[in-house]
Structure 1
Amino acid sequence: MLVDSHCHLNFPDLAARLPEVLARMEENCVELALVIGVTRSDYPSVLALAEAHPHLYATVGIHPDDKDAAEFSEDELIEHAAHPKVVGIGETGLDYHWCKGDLAWQHERFRVHIRAARRTGLPLIIHTRESAADTLRIMKESGAERGVMHCFTENREVAKAALDLGFYISFSGIVTFKSAQELKEVAKMVPLDRILVETDSPYLAPVPFRGKQNEPGFVRHVAEHVAELRGMPFEALAEATTDNFYTLFSKVPRLLGQP
């Protein structure tokens, strides 16, 4: 069985065909998906999905790419995190691709999420784009303790620094792209007990679906490719990444009914 550790099932393109998407999860032996909160306004739809389906869980957070986004306060994040189906804080982090200029607001938003994660004991879901040095610096300064570098696209040095902080590394469909040679090397070197797989759907569909709409069932293709890169059976990689998910997101009950 597999887990999609990062998806956006509440986004309109996936929500409009949810029964089909959930059925394909089952067909591909994906036993659980984590639906990620990225805005205050969309959080109710994220939570509603988790409440309606036993094999969906949620996180709460504000993505770093919008300066004017309505914020959650630290206390509000903690309050939402008390819900039994909310198992992580984020998506949070830094993004210097879409955001330029004085980014003190983005740094403070990140710190708020880190403090909330420390107070709740829940893992952080970290986004970093063209901002690895500052992301790692703030993680160290703020005492980020547990979490995952989601949709990892950085080099071996950044991966090692995140691992040294106790974080997991999650690979998305990008690792299947021919152009992602450096990332493939990272997928070979990350310890087996620190790897997660994800889709980040509806984005970044893996080969052989590249260019099409992504969905949680396609996480199987990510896992198959990572297993091939590491020269190990797919079944062993699937078991390891699933075990890793439940170890990191320890609030999620290990034994679930079938979707």
Structure 2
Amino acid sequence: MELIDTHCHLDVPEFAADRAAVRQRSGAAGLVGIVIPAIHADGWSGLLALCTDGSTLGPALYPALGLHPVYLDQHRETDIAALERAVADARPVAIGEIGLDYVVRELDPARQQALFEAQLEIARSAGLPVLLHVRKAHDEVLTTLRRLPVVGGVAHAFNGSLQQAQQYRDLGFKLGFGGMLTFERSTRLRRLAAQIPLESIVLETDAPDLTVAAHRGERNSPEYLTDVLAALARVRDADPGDLAALTTANARAVLNLP
């Protein structure tokens, strides 16, 4: 069984003490790939170094470069030009994590929109997919994507409606499901995961955040992706092995992974 975690922040300080061991355990759990999205420009060099460290222990690591909307106040005016250069030099698998967050009230919507559009233009020029962060802003993101279409990508931690899911699918996007699917109280999310066509679903952890039910209150980890797979198998009444093969193929296709 082969699995790909399409969204995991393995580069952040929460993994500093045991990153190699986490990677090894993830490989033992069946992971063959982990996509690591960036948060801000100061983290790009460390992220890229991690993904090219030459280690053969555990899954392959794939970088995505971008400027996260929640860290709006940390981004500099020069970061967009720096992102263009970094994308040309490093050729990441995607631009991300990018998008709109209307949950955090302190984040200026207009500044978020400008940052989002600038990064979409980079993705368009580079022919790269994007990893979307969207909270309470699906309609706005979809409207922007129709105006500035990209080659697709992943709507990370998808929690929109079935109709919005179809709109993302029409634009070439897969929908990411993670640890929240493992909680019995997540009835709406589980219903979505049961209804969305399997060819549009990819798995993720968002580690170290959004952990699975079995590790409530603990740091999330990519090795727990098997719990997400098991939860998806339960809500779909499907064989976990079949789902692993399909979601891994989906991830490889949308992100052009080997």
- After TM superposition, the score normalised by the length of structure 2 is 0.92
Partner of 1:10: 11
1:88-141 Cα deviation digits (max 9, x unpaired): 101000001114474211001000111111111111000001112211111112
User: For structure 1, which segment, 163-172 or 50-59, has the greater mean C-alpha deviation from structure 2 after superposition?
Assistant: 50-59
Cα distance in 1 for partners of 2:94, 2:150 equals 13
- After TM superposition, the score normalised by the length of structure 1 is 0.92
**Alpha carbons of structure 1 residues 83 and 230: separation in structure 2 relative to 1, 3 Å:** farther
* 1:161 and 2:162 correspond: no
Residue 128 (structure 1) aligned to one of 119, 134, 138:
134
Partner of 1:203: 209
Cα distance in 2 for partners of 1:76, 1:41 equals 11
Residue 69 (structure 1) aligned to one of 66, 70, 74:
74
Q: C-alpha displacement at 1:152, in angstroms?
A: 1.1
SS at match of 2:5: strand
Cα distance in 1 for partners of 2:107, 2:31 equals 41
Partner of 1:257: none
Cα distance in 2 for partners of 1:164, 1:189 equals 16
SS at match of 1:122: coil
User: For structure 1, which segment, 107-116 or 207-216, has the greater mean C-alpha deviation from structure 2 after superposition?
Assistant: 207-216
Residue 121 (structure 2) aligned to one of 92, 111, 115:
115
State whether residues 129 and 254 of structure 2, in contact with CA within 8 Å, keep that contact through their aligned partners in structure 1: yes
Partner of 2:27: 26
State whether residues 175 and 222 of structure 1, in contact with CA within 8 Å, keep that contact through their aligned partners in structure 2: yes
The equivalences for 1:1-259 within 5 A come to 1-52=2-53, 53=55, 55-71=60-76, 73-83=79-89, 86-100=92-106, 102-250=108-256, 252=257, 254=258
Q: Identity over aligned residues, as a percent?
A: 31
State whether residues 51 and 85 of structure 1, in contact with CA within 8 Å, keep that contact through their aligned partners in structure 2: no
**Alpha carbons of structure 1 residues 42 and 234: separation in structure 2 relative to 1, 3 Å:** same
State whether residues 39 and 71 of structure 2, in contact with CA within 8 Å, keep that contact through their aligned partners in structure 1: no
SS at match of 1:82: helix
Q: C-alpha displacement at 1:210, in angstroms?
A: 2.1
User: For structure 1, which segment, 68-77 or 154-163, has the greater mean C-alpha deviation from structure 2 after superposition?
Assistant: 68-77
SS at match of 1:97: coil
SS at match of 2:93: strand
**Alpha carbons of structure 1 residues 84 and 69: separation in structure 2 relative to 1, 3 Å:** closer
Q: Which residue identity does 1:21 align to in structure 2?
A: V
Q: C-alpha displacement at 1:77, in angstroms?
A: 2.6
SS at match of 1:225: helix
Cα distance in 1 for partners of 2:4, 2:248 equals 6
Q: Which residue identity does 1:28 align to in structure 2?
A: A
SS at match of 1:144: coil
Aligned length: 252
Cα distance in 1 for partners of 2:19, 2:31 equals 15
Cα distance in 1 for partners of 2:253, 2:142 equals 22
Q: Which residue identity does 1:57 align to in structure 2?
A: Y
Q: C-alpha displacement at 1:16, in angstroms?
A: 1.8
